[in-house]
């Protein structure tokens, strides 16, 4: 069973770039921006995000359909 996880993108200096990756946990990650890296958000909970964010339902649907969704 695939679960949905979130990664934050961090640049070379360790600062967040503002991009997030919502992805099925065993799907290959798309490449981050040049010099950046994806870091797993261990506190992410899909249920909580659905309750807190009005636009997350569409993001989740896209991630389930396509395997991942990058949010800028």
Where do the domains of the chain lie?
A: 4-71
CB-hemisphere CA count at 13 Å for 57?
A: 2
Name beta bridge partners: 7: 21, 40
Average pLDDT over residues 4-19: 97
How confident is the model at residue 1, as a pLDDT? 55
How confident is the model at residue 28, as a pLDDT? 94
Burial class (CB within 10 angstroms; exposed 0-12, middle 13-18, buried 19+) of 13:
exposed
Radius of gyration, CA atoms only, the chain: 12
pTM for the whole thing? Answer: 0.90
């Amino acid at each position: 069973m695939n679960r949905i996880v979130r990664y934050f993108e961090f640049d070379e200096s360790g600062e967040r770039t503002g991009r997030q990756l919502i992805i099925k946990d065993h799907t290959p990650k798309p490449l981050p921006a040049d010099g950046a890296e994806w870091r797993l958000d261990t506190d992410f909970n899909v249920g909580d995000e659905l309750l807190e964010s009005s636009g997350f339902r569409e993001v989740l649907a896209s991630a389930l359909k396509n395997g991942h969704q990058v949010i800028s």
